[in-house]
Structure 1
Amino acid sequence: MLISQVRMQDGSIAVAVREPGETARAINGAASVYALAMEAANADKSLQVVIDAKGLGEAIDLEQAYAEGRMLPPITHPDPAHLHLTGTGLTHLGSAATRDAMHKKTTEAAEEALTDSMKMFRMGLEGGKPKAGEKGVQPEWFYKGNGTAAVAPGKPLTSPSFAEDGGEEPEMAGIYVISDRGLPYRLGFAVANEFSDHKTERVNYLWLAHSKLRQASFGPEIRIGAAPDDIRGTSRILRGGKVLWEKPFLSGEANMSHSFANLEYHHFKYDLFRTPGDVHVHMFGTATLSFGDGIRTEPGDVFEIEAEDFGLALRNPLAVGAEEEIAIRQL
């Protein structure tokens, strides 16, 4: 089942649900995906049970809404400060190659040693999928921002004026709400573009945190339930309406060095991330980057990411923000 949020012609918000390949219909009495998810979490019921109890109403043409710029992020929070965009890296088989090349030391002695990125990747290979009852190794983790940095499908991903680069990262994102009792509940998974500045990261891996403080987009639809073990998708960049670059990407635990459960544990083990009422969009990493193939994006390029059974493709044009003068004022 796929769930999304659409702004209707009259300005109201409808929560749409459908099976892949079918027409979406509005959920009766659902003010938002967040409200629906919190209702389910606080009652300790599945989303399907809550949706079935409400029933379905009018049909919604998602393609038309998308074309008219009316698709919203598939979950939002009434207070954007309580939606967290976070992620993990070096989690996919093959993901270390590009990162290792980016961070390779230049001295002859260092070339014979493993980079920190390769060490982290190997840690995941050895301990990223623990057995039941065991704790696995913690992954690389990063913070991207709050709900103000979440960009709706179809809207521009804006690279700040000071950025060195603005590049896509096609990933799976887990979507979570925290119940009133402080318990994390997963709605499901969505395609995401974990938009990053790879040139800044390449200068020094200690600048990774800076490179990740960028906008992100996810959706347009959330696939409710567990993720398939083998997820296959396509990431492409369009320039002037033509394909500039295209490559398949893999996700799902069959293609990962960590299990989703291990990555979730090491995020939600912090009580900071179990604050009642919060929303979490946690991106699980990728092994596919156009940057690794030497692509340099330009304003107006369109990122398009899609995966089978995850609904409509995620599309966002690239924009560059205006320069800002940052002045600190004394109180």
Structure 2
Amino acid sequence: MIQFIDAAGRRRVGMPAADGRRIDVVRGVSSTYELAMAAIGARRTLAAEIAARGRDPADESYPDLLAGLRVLVPLDHEDPAHCLVTGTGLTHLGSAATRDKMHTDQSAVETMTDSMRMFRWGLEGGQPRRGTPGTQPEWFYKGDGGIVVPPGHPIPYPDFAEDAGEEPEIAGLYVIGDDGLPYRLGFALGNEFSDHVMERRNYLYLAHSKLRFCSFGPELRVGEMPRDIRGTSRIRRDGKILWEKPFHSGEGNMSHTLENLEYHHFKYMQFLRPGSVHVHFFGTATLSFADGIQTRPGDEFEIHAPEFGAPLRNPTRQEPAAPYMPGNTVPL
């Protein structure tokens, strides 16, 4: 499914056809959130809710909507403060090697880094038997819905940032029902976007490095996540490919099960507020930064995996930081 703005300026929920051009519009609903809450209230699946409402063919093509920058992220909340964007790291096979390139003290390479230690904990206990909690993963906070950028739009980064690097990931999309339970709508391609130079200085700067904008979509894949996802991450500069590399995801390429990652997020009561939206990134093992790439304003990221439909593309843009300087706090 996608969310988009039609020619009359109205929000719509659509379902792209297999040809990548035609779109069916879901009747009587203006957002994926509205559709999901209606399905939860009726105690039926998203597919059943869509079938009950019916669909009509759209007047516009999917490529035209993408080119016109009228495709939104596939799940949001009308109040960005009620959307929480988070993620987990060191969850994929090979992710520790990538992280070690950033965190290892080259004068003492024989010492196991904390990143490698946590990765090994995940290998040993991240895939427990079903219904049993396993090892908790690394977890981080990115922001609320105000940091989410629609597909095709520039991902901004502040002028104090030391890096603007992509992270090709799969994101889980959730709403919390009135019963306080998390309901997973499905999954989307995501660019988690971080400051890897800052993180490389010291792994305790990870929390700062994640406080950046991000994007996901353009499509929401309903149902289970494929076990073996094979995609490609690219960076284009001045219209030419600067860097390209395959990335793998899905439980067949991870050290943690999806169930375990979800448990260690939603075990916290503050994340079970009825009506809220959660966007949770599941990690990656592929970074252009690990290959020595330094991005520039205007570079375009492209993340593509066939199972998720159209690619996620976003250019980058540097912008001034928040207008706050030391001493600017106003005492009351």
Please give the range of the TM-score, normalised by the shorter of the 2 chains: over 0.9
Query: Displacement of 1:100 after TM fit?
Result: 1.1
2:74 counterpart letter in structure 1: P
What TM-score does the superposition give when structure 1 sets the normalisation length?
0.97
- Residue 42 of structure 1 and its aligned partner are, at CA, apart by 2.6
Q: Distance in 1 between matches of 2:270 and 2:125?
A: 25
- Whole-Å separation in 1 of the counterparts to 2:99 and 2:278: 26
> Which residue is equivalent to 2:68?
68
Deviation of the 1:17 alpha carbon: 1.1
Q: Distance in 2 between matches of 1:92 and 1:164?
A: 25
Structure-2 separation of matches of 1:63 and 1:271: 41
- Aligned partner of 1:330 in structure 2 is 331
Q: Deviations over 1:268-296 (max 9, x none)?
A: 00011110000001000000000000000
Partner of 2:300: 302
Counterpart amino acid of residue 330 in structure 1: P
Q: Is the contact between residue 20 and residue 309 of structure 1 (CA under 8 Å) also seen in structure 2?
A: no
Whether the aligned pair in 2 keeps the contact of 1:174 and 1:281 (CA below 8 Å) is: yes
Distance 1:99 1:138 in 2: 18
Which is further off, 126-135 or 147-156? Answer: 126-135
Q: How many residues align?
A: 327
Residue 135 of structure 1 corresponds to 133
Cα distance in 2 for residues equivalent to 1:173 and 1:51: 22
Aligned equivalents of 2:11, 2:106: Cα separation in 1: 54
SS at match of 1:51: helix
Query: Measured at CA, do residues 40 and 197 of structure 1 come closer, stay the same or move farther in structure 2, by a change above 3 Å?
Result: same
Q: CA deviation at 1:133?
A: 3.4
**Equivalent in the alignment of 2:100:** 100
Correspondence list, 1:182-331, <5 A = 182-326=180-324, 327-331=328-332
Alpha-carbon offset, residue 112 of structure 1: 2.0
Contact 2:16-2:62 at 8 Å conserved across structures: no
Q: Aligned partners of 2:16, 2:57: CA distance in 1, in Å? A: 12
Which amino acid is 2:308 matched to? F
Deviation at 1:309, TM superposition (A): 1.8
Structure 1 residues 132-172: Cα deviation after superposition (integer angstroms, max 9, x where no partner):
23211000000000000010000110011111000000000
Task: Answer yes or no: is the 8 Å Cα contact 2:188–2:220 preserved in 1.
Answer: yes
- What is the alpha-carbon root mean square deviation over aligned residues? 1.1
Answer yes or no: is 1:82 the counterpart of 2:94: no
Q: CA deviation at 1:324?
A: 4.3
Percent identical among aligned pairs is: 57
Provide the residue aligned with 1:32 in structure 2.
31
Q: Residue 24 of structure 1: CA displacement?
A: 1.6
Q: TM-score, normalised by structure 2?
A: 0.96
Deviation per CA, 1:24-73: give whole Å up to 9, x if none: 21000012100001111233210000000000013241210110111111
How far 1:323 sits from its partner (Å)? 4.3
Provide structure 1 residue ranges, at least 5 long, that are not aligned to the other structure.
Answer: none
**Partner SS, residue 308 of structure 2:** coil
> 1:118-197, aligned counterparts within 5 Å?
118-197=116-195
Q: In structure 1, give the amino acid aligned to 2:63.
A: E
> Counterpart in 2 of 1:47?
46
